[in-house]
């Protein structure tokens, strides 16, 4: 998900580095979510002191929600996104290149296959678009 700061800063297309090429996009939408939706998305963090600020931030403007598929997509996606705290994100990662503060870190990515499944069900109850990328045979054995 490109968070509201990423959308407002016009970073939606910058957040699609070449390293995403082996992954295919299956769902994409620009969407504003309300407080209860954002609280559900971040329910694992509800006890954290930054929770209400995090929810305020996520509902402060539209976000771009996406589903990506590919080999080791969660691990690869997290590598491309970078560490949670941009100060610890390597250059070349999305957070490393575009973010400064942890509370404005531009992008969210599922941290496990299980949370990815839950997040897909929450954000895309309509389900994914069925297609396959014609470049995949040139990338995957």
Active site positions, annotated? 108
* Cβ nearer to ligand DGI, comparing 50 with 140: 50
* Cβ nearer to ligand DGI, comparing 49 with 137: 49
- Contacts with ligand DGI by CB under 6 A lie at 45, 50, 53-54, 84, 102-103, 105, 108, 111
Q: Provide the token pair at 111.
A: 């941290």
* Cβ nearer to ligand DGI, comparing 23 with 106: 106
Min dist. Cβ of residue 140 to ligand DGI (A): 27
Contact 25, 66 (CB under 8 A): yes
d(CA 95, CA 86): 5
Min dist. Cβ of residue 36 to ligand DGI (A): 18
d(CA 46, CA 95): 23
Min dist. Cβ of residue 59 to ligand DGI (A): 14
Q: Give the burial string for 104-127 (b: 16+ CB within 10 Å, else e).
A: bbbbbbbbeeeebebbbeebbeee
């Amino acid at each position: 998900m490109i968070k509201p700061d990423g959308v407002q800063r016009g970073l939606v297309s910058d957040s699609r580095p070449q390293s995403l090429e082996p992954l295919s996009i299956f769902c994409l939408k620009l969407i504003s979510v309300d407080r209860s939706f954002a609280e559900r998305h971040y329910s694992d963090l509800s006890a954290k002191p930054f929770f209400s600020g995090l929810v305020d931030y996520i509902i402060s403007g539209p976000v771009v929600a996406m589903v990506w598929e590919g080999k080791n997509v969660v691990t690869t996606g997290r590598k491309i996104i970078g560490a949670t705290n941009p100060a610890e994100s390597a250059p070349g990662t999305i957070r490393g290149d575009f973010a400064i503060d942890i509370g404005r870190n531009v992008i969210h990515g599922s941290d496990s296959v299980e949370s990815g499944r839950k997040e897909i069900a929450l954000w895309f109850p309509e389900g994914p678009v069925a297609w396959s990328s014609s470049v995949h045979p040139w990338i995957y054995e």
